[in-house]
């Protein structure tokens, strides 16, 4: 079966290979994470979202599921955090917030904690699928999740091309290995950001099923399983 370069397809492939998940930890859910919500509708979801304007949409989207909404920001330390609001022009709804310094009128204060501290306090069911997508603050969250990530069976983290090496190093330091790159976004023909999908390097059975080198080395080669994923427009060769 051929793949698509999406988070949905990536996680489905992992599930078919035997990925085990006890809790979905979604950092930066905004209004909804429809792919994770639908793929893991039978599991508990812990949703981190400090922007209160999103909360009503979250409650609607996750109605009927086992979820907990945490109105805090995750980082590499505890304490107050200033967020800068960016509002959509059309309706004035907050569309994005980012860490800020100073005394601007659009700033708000939220509480922050680390994922390590949260997991120590609440003991969610392992293993975790951790998704981190907060538009730029992912590195600090990874630094505050070093212990928690050792309990993860999958990590999905958004990164710009510029920040990819440091986020790769932080994930590898937590015993995770890069398995997939999906949801690539380009700006003016140049790769800008993507989602990195990691699995534990200690999951030997899963690694073998998901590592083409192992499959090719120990199983008969299947030409139908060898293909390239690329997008073309009409008229291109």
DSSP for 147-195 reads TGGGGEEEEEEEEETTTHHHHHHHHHHTTEEEEEEEEEEEETTEEEEEE
Residue 160: strand pairing partners? 193
Residue 153 domain-assigned (yes or no) = yes
pLDDT-based confidence at 105, cuts 50/70/90?
low
Residue 80 domain-assigned (yes or no) = yes
pLDDT-based confidence at 225, cuts 50/70/90?
confident
Q: What integer is the mean pLDDT of 74-87?
A: 81
Q: What integer is the mean pLDDT of 144-150?
A: 96
Task: Look at residue 178 and tell me whether its pLDDT is greater than 90.
Answer: yes
Task: Look at residue 132 and tell me whether its pLDDT is greater than 60.
Answer: yes
pLDDT at res. 204: 66
pLDDT at res. 91: 47
Q: How far is residue 134's CA from residue 82's CA, in Å, rounded to a whole number?
A: 14
Residue 180 domain-assigned (yes or no) = yes
Residue 2 domain-assigned (yes or no) = no
pLDDT-based confidence at 203, cuts 50/70/90?
low
Residue 21 domain-assigned (yes or no) = yes
Task: Look at residue 89 and tell me whether its pLDDT is greater than 60.
Answer: no
pTM of the model: 0.88
Host H or E run for residue 231: none
Q: Of 50-59, 88-97, 115-124, 126-135, give the lowest mean pLDDT range.
A: 88-97
- Order of strands across the sheet that contains 73-74: 73-74, 107-113, 79-87, 94-99
Split into its structural domains, the chain has a count of 1
Residue 73 domain-assigned (yes or no) = yes
Domain harbouring 179, CATH code: 3.40.50.150
> β-strand 23-27 against 128-132: which pairing, if any?
parallel
Residue 119 domain-assigned (yes or no) = yes
Range of the domain at 182: 7-225
Task: Write down the mean pLDDT value for the chain.
Answer: 86
Residue 39 domain-assigned (yes or no) = yes
pLDDT at res. 92: 45
Q: How far is residue 81's CA from residue 78's CA, in Å, rounded to a whole number?
A: 9
Task: Look at residue 150 and tell me whether its pLDDT is greater than 90.
Answer: yes
Task: Look at residue 98 and tell me whether its pLDDT is greater than 60.
Answer: no
């Amino acid at each position: 079966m051929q793949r698509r370069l999406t988070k949905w397809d990536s996680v489905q492939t992992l599930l078919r290979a035997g990925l085990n998940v006890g809790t979905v930890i979604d950092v930066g859910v905004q209004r909804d994470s429809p792919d994770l919500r639908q793929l893991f509708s039978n599991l508990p979801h812990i949703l981190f979202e400090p922007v209160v304007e999103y909360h009503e949409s979250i409650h609607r989207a996750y109605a009927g599921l086992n979820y907990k909404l945490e109105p805090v920001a995750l980082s590499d330390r505890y304490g107050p955090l200033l967020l800068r609001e960016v509002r959509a022009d059309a309706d004035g709804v907050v569309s994005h917030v980012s860490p800020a310094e100073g005394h601007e009128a659009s700033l708000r204060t939220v509480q922050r904690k680390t994922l390590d501290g949260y997991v120590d306090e609440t003991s969610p069911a392992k293993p975790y699928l951790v998704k981190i997508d907060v538009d730029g603050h992912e590195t600090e969250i990874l630094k505050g999740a070093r212990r928690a990530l050792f309990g993860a069976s999958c990590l999905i983290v958004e990164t710009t091309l510029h920040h990819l090496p440091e986020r790769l190093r932080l994930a590898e330091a937590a015993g995770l290995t890069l398995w997939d790159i999906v949801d690539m976004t380009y700006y003016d023909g140049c790769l800008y950001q993507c989602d990195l999908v990691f699995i534990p390097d200690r999951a030997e059975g899963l690694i073998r099923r998901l590592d083409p080198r192992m499959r090719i080395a120990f199983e008969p080669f299947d030409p139908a399983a060898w293909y390239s994923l690329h997008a073309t427009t009409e008229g291109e060769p």
